[in-house]
Amino acid sequence: MSLTLLDREQLEDRLLADPMPRSHCLDSGDAAAPAYFEDPGYRRTLLRHRLAVARELLLRDAQAELAGRDVVNSPSAARDYLRLHFATLTHEVFIVVFLDAQNRVIACEEMFRGTLTQTSVYPREVVRAALAHNAATVLLAHNHPSGLADPSRSDEVLTKALKSALSLVDVRVIDHLVCAAGRIVSFAERGIL
């Protein structure tokens, strides 16, 4: 089951739980069972499990903090959320933050997933989601797993296409953020938007 489908209490239980319960080995009378639990592979599995659960809890807290906030006057909450969201990803992801007329967050959605070097983004789907959320403005964001946060030429072309498509339904793009290695580059701050 995906961690995103669990409620907070279930996640907290999973954080403390052993992903590979010892009881099944110990109950079988296996004398080698205690040595198995000292195995570095098991400990790495346990650590990965606990970090994934902890990350999901942090993401939920960050998203709850972001909800209803004015991202223009307090951009640090949005940037912190995006840094956390993109931190461990090894593939490109495109996120849209939907905002109301006062630039308060309505919703934040991971709209598209890609490969190590690219993501296919469909303007039609972004427009459809903006209308479904009754958004007045949007904040676009994606990551560069390569570690280079500088926007590419294709990022600029995509932003112009999205801005044009969204303008047809009176939705304004306030920024496009590119995140890589904890660094965030803003199209608006660079004068690209």
Measured distance CA(105)–CA(97) in Å, rounded? 7
pLDDT of res. 62: 59
For the ranges 10-19, 62-71, 92-101, the maximum mean pLDDT occurs at: 92-101
In this predicted structure, what is the pLDDT of residue 138? 95
Per-residue pLDDT for 22 more than 60? Answer: no
| Average confidence score pLDDT of the chain | 78
Across residues 13-19, what is the average pLDDT? Answer: 63
Mean pLDDT, residues 133-138: 96
- The pLDDT value recorded for residue 43 is 67
Report the distance separating Cα 47 and Cα 42, nearest Å: 9
Domains annotated for the chain, with CATH where assigned, are 3-60 (no CATH), 73-190 (3.40.140.10)
**What is the reported pTM?**
0.68
CA distance 132 to 25: 50
**Which residue reads 């956390």 in tokens?**
84
